[in-house]
Structures are given as C-alpha cells and as structure tokens.
Structure 1
Amino acid sequence: MHSEDSYRDAPVFLLTIDESMLIEAASKIAQKTLGDCKRCAIGKFVDTRLALELGDLMQSVKIDAPPIYRVLTFRRQDGERIVVAGLVDKVSCGDSPKLRITALYDPSSQPWLEELIHSEDLHRAFVQTSSEAMWCIDFSEPVDLTQGDHETIRQVFENECRWLMCNEAMARLYNLPMELDFNRQPVSLYFPRNLENETFVRQIIESNFSVDKVLSIDTSHDGSSMYMENTVHCNIQNGCLLRMWGSVRDVTGYRQVQNRLTRDAQDVRSILNAIPDAILVINRERRLLAVNASFEALFGWKQHQFLGQDIQSIINLEAPLPNGRRWYGIDHQRWTTEVKISTGRSMMCDAQIFPVGEEAPDRFVLTLHPAHE
C-alpha cells in the first residue's frame, strides 16, 4: 500500500495514474514541473503516442513486476516540453492497480538530457535503417569471466539474457514474420547451444572478446540451419560480460557450395588413390604438386619427400622424346622411360603426360605404369 502523502512528499518527479488514465497523485516536484495536474488525464501532458503506450503498459504490466526504463516527454500547461528519464511500474494502491512514473528531474540537466536523447534517436535510426543485420545480446545475469573458459561458455548459453536493438535487416535475415518483434524472442531460439556455437564463443574468448568474420551456426525462424559470419564486440566490466553486439552476414549458400566442393574433392582423391598407376601433377618447373597413393606403392618414395620438389632426380623429363618433342608440349605425349625407385634401382615404365588447359599450360598430369606388366 502507498499513501498519497508519501507520493506528494517524495523527493523525485512522481506520478500515479489510475485505470482511467487520470493522474491520481503527484509529488510536489511533479506538480511544480507540470502545474496543477491532479485528476487530469495524462493525455493532457503527453503526446498521443506516449499516452497510448502508457495505456498499453497499464494493461500488460503485472503488479510489482520489474520497472521499465523509459525516456518520457511531458508538456507543461504553458506548452514547454519537459524531458525526463525514469522508470514505469505497476503497483497496488487501494482497491485498484496504479501505473507509477518515477524520475529524477533537474531543470539544469534538460539541455544535456535532450542532446543525449537526440543522439540515441540518431543511433537507433542508423541501426534500424541499416541494410546490414545488427544484433545485441544483453545479459541481465552477467557472465562471470573469472571462472575459466568452460564455465564462461556455459554461462553465455544458460544465463538470463535478451536481444537488444536487433534491427529490421536482422529480422529479415532470420525470416521472422512481420508481426513478431525480434527483440522479444528468446535468444536460444536463434542462437542455440551446439558444438559449433560453443566453438564460436571460445573463439571470441581467445580473441580477447573482439572478432571479425567468425562462423556460427544459427537457426532460422522456420527451424533451418544457417551459416553466419559474425563480427563481435563485447562490453566487460569488473570481470563480467554484460553485452555482446555486432553484425552478421548469411554465408549459407557459400558454405554449402564449399562443403559440396570439399566432398567432390574427397571423392576425386579417393578415385585417384584407387587407380593402380602412379599419377603425378607437376608444374612447368617439374615440381610435384599432387600425387596419388600408387606413387608410394610402386616406387617406395614417401609423398612428402617430393611434394614441392623437382622430380628430375627420379625421372628424366628433359631427355628428348620421339620426333624431338619436349615433355611440356600442349599435346598428349607417350613414351617409355626409367623411374628411379627408393632402393636405388630403376624401373621401366610406360609414361603418359597430359597438359591441363588448352593454351600455355602450366600444370601437367603424368601417369606411370610398369612396362613389364
């Protein structure tokens, strides 16, 4: 219960509003600031948008729920605007609930406060209209960074937190329906705890809480997985993580293509390793670029002994071929040659070389097959 006298004598700007949106009680500071306002409709002192917002809060806020921070602009009876930064909550007073507005008000702070609000409005407008998806996670339960990486990662995913100032581009990126506000959605719904995202958080920790173009795997509103490239910064105070914010880019298509190319390359490598002939890829300087498993099986040489090295020491490519041709021509070449094996002996092999590319090739595929077979 709160008495009217306690409201009147409160050393702050304080109003209570009843369910009819009439000002029921006002502190002396509030009455001095606004003029005689008791039993007046709140709409007399605020614009239509704020009046509607306060009406919504009267309906939606629960009694004794945590206060909501708001910057409020009032209009005095002489038309002068008064800006206050304060808290709005709902309290039980008598037989009915009341909406309470509490703020510290000092006329000398008006220019500073209005400049701060103007700056915040510009910042919010920049974020909301940006084509780049921007996000912020605010930890109402700060993450303790003094307990080691494992505990830090656990708290990032399990501590109470919320989205803050996620913009429209962010909502579009995650396919959020128009009627849903991204900032009211659970963080875990779009940033779930999984092995990939734990690795993502670990990278943030190891990079001193500032990273650029780091991969995470998020969840779209329809439940599909999304590969995201993140730039992340953090607000840390007294060993506690308070906020993480940054921008994000969808690289799902690129990542899927990359994964497919990786699988294709693995398939090609498996096929080449199954071929019994030795297959070598060399450049015009005769340096070995790639080789299959049969190179080691046939000649006893380890792949690492020649990768990046000139193979002239084991096969003489500079010897003239039939009709005076050279090995690095633009046509398919075929001949018989000696290949030195790891025991020091030589093995006669049928050699074939194929240029990669049609004009001035700089890579060649060389196949070697024992001639006695």
Structure 2
Amino acid sequence: MISSRSFVAISFAVVPFVFFACAKGSSLPGGGGGAGGEGGDEWSGPAQSSSSSGGMGGSGGMGASSSSASSGASSSSGGSGGGGSGPLPIVLLRIGDGVTTLSSAAAPVSLEWRLTDGSATPGAPGTTSMPQVISGSNYQLTLSGTASSEGHLSLSANGKYVFLAGYAADVGTLNVSTQIVSRVVGRVDASGNVNTSTLLTGAFNGSNVRGATSSDGTSIWVSGNSTTTGGIHYTTLGSSSPTQILSNPLNTRCVHASGGQLYATSGAGTFVNVFTVGAGLPTSTGQTATSLPGLPTLGASPYGFVVLDLSAAIAGPDTLYVADDRSPANGGGIQKWTFDGASWSLAATWNDGTAGVRGLAATPWGGGVRIVATTAENNENRVLTLFDDGSAFPEIVIATIAPLNTVFRGVAFAPQ
C-alpha cells in the first residue's frame, strides 16, 4: 500500500471486465473532470447498508485526499477493495449499446447485475434492458448519451426495488433532454421485472430528469431540472399526474428516501450540498429545502449520497457519504462527513487521483462500510470500490470499466 502525506499519482494499466447478457438506509442491500451536466446538460433555456469484499488485486498507488491534507491511497484493478467477508451484489446503470457513439440523442439504458468485485452476480438477471418501445402499460425509457447529470439509481427504502428516471422517447431522438416528451420512472425488482408505467406528464419540461426514489415501491419522488417544472415531484406507481412538491431549488440532482426522511442534492445557488425536503416523506406542494448544517453552500458539486445512522451516541443520522464530481485537485471524490449532534464536518475525501465521482452507494458491513462509486468521465468510466474501516487510507479498487461507447452512471446495492 502506498501511503503519503503528499499527492501521489502513478500510472497503471487496467484491463476492463466486459459483461454483456441478453436482453440509505440500513437495509441490505440499502449517486474527471469538473461538474458538467447541470442546467447546461442539453438545455438551451434560462447524483446506505452493509459492505464486504474478498481479496484485493495487485496494487498501484493512486491519490486520495483528506479534509486536512492530501493523503495517498493504494489502488488496484480487480478485487474488491479489502475488508468485509465477501463481495456484495450491486446494480449498475449503463447507457449505450457499445456500438453507437454516445451523443445528446436518446440512448438505450440497461441495468447490469454484478458484485462489488466487478464479476457477474450468480443467479441474478445478468443485464436488464429498459423498454425501447411501448409494450402494454410500459413506456420506453431512454436517456441522453452525454447529459452527465442523468441516470441515477436509488434502492427503495424497503430494499425491494431500484428506481431510475428517463424519457419516454425512442432511441435516437435528437437532443432528448430538451424535448417536450414525457419523462418516465422505471422500477425494477430483484428478479429483473421492469415497470415503466409511471409518466411524469408536464414535469421537467425542456431539461433533464435525473433520478427517482421510493419508500415502498409505490410512492415515488423524482428529481430534475427546468425553469418552472423542475425541483422534485411526487407521484405514485402507474400514475401520469405528478405533483411538484419542491420548486426551490428548481435544479435538483439526486433524491433518496432514507430513514423516513426525503433528501436531495443540487448544484444550484446555495444548495450545493445535501438537504432535507420538508419533514418526513412529503407528498404535497410548498415544501422547503433545508441544507444539512455544516455542509458547503458554495463551490461544491454533489451528486449521489448515502445517509447512515452508525453511532448509538448520536440521535439520528451521523455519517454521510457524498459523491462530488469536481477534479481531485478541487475536492472531488467520495466525501465522508460526520455529525456531532449539532453540525456536519468533513472527515475525509477519497479519490483515485484521476477523476471525481457521481454515482454512489454505501452500506454498513463487516465492521465498516462498503462503498461503490462511478467516476465522472463521460465515456468508458470506471467503477470504484473501497472499504471504510475507519483507517485514513482505505484501498481504492477499480472493479470494472465501462466498455467502449457506454458509460456507467448510477449504482445501487441490489434489491432483495
């Protein structure tokens, strides 16, 4: 392991694991370069549970930074990042078919079922494709190939489903994020059964729809952007009439229901942090966003996040992991925040010295927390995993790399 108080960057070779098949809470299994993908994402108008892993691959040093100073962290390709007792099942959202160059046009979306070491999950569906044509009550679900703020995954609070959001538009629809087409929610269960019957008529017009979450598989909250119809919308499975419950900020990124509370992130105004939306799990208009105390109100670029209650000494959540897509030199990476009962403080920031991250999942497991993240490159990006056992320099492992003409966006622990 390489460990240093100064930034260390070492080049290394990685052979990607390519896997194709036909086509947060405490429940197990539970979002490169600068921050792109905000309101400018194809828009011309005014981003919990238990972790473990098996053996580690060969090491090659990669940079990681802490909140007080830069710190080196060992990194390897393959393996599962040390700690715990074995790899855990995850779901990765992949955009692209591996043949067509990614662009602002609507691209096919699929979920890959893997383990945290990058290998295929035994007995899992393999690859679950989102519909590309209307079939019965299910609508298409596609995403822009280049809108980097889209494509987040959330495990429902009851642990039974993963949720995502996209466009009810055909593959190839030009500049899909700017089109006035219905946005759509996807729900997928542990067997890979897909439900895309939920339309968001009138929501997120002319801009990005980004993520969706649920407490029970039926109540749904959706995040995204638009000059008037952005913010966060509430709906129910199979409905086509969403309710805009949050309009400030209008530009939201990731949303999660965790511990009976709705949380979200944004890159707009002073809400460049994790904030609560109303009290509990609100369903009506007029909700207020309240930033968690101590989190930044300027300069940060948060996407995926996980809120955990790990300490019996602190009432409520006390540990927060946040994906920040800024470059490592500017504070990007996997941030760990801790709560002392009054305010949140940045405890560490881990990255691989190459890129920030956008997708994020974390779960308590094996005496620590297993963390999985997707890096911020917009094509052929990487899936990183590490085991937070409280040490300053956890090993960062590259579990897999997205194949040519594809990108991994959201990640979640697999539903049960």
If you compute each CA radius of gyration, which structure gives the higher value, 1 or 2?
A: 1
Higher relative contact order (CA 8 A, sep 6+): 2
- Which category describes the TM-score, using the shorter chain as reference length? under 0.3
User: How does the TM-score come out when normalised to structure 1?
Assistant: 0.20
User: How does the TM-score come out when normalised to structure 2?
Assistant: 0.18
Task: Identify the structure with the greater strand proportion.
Answer: 2
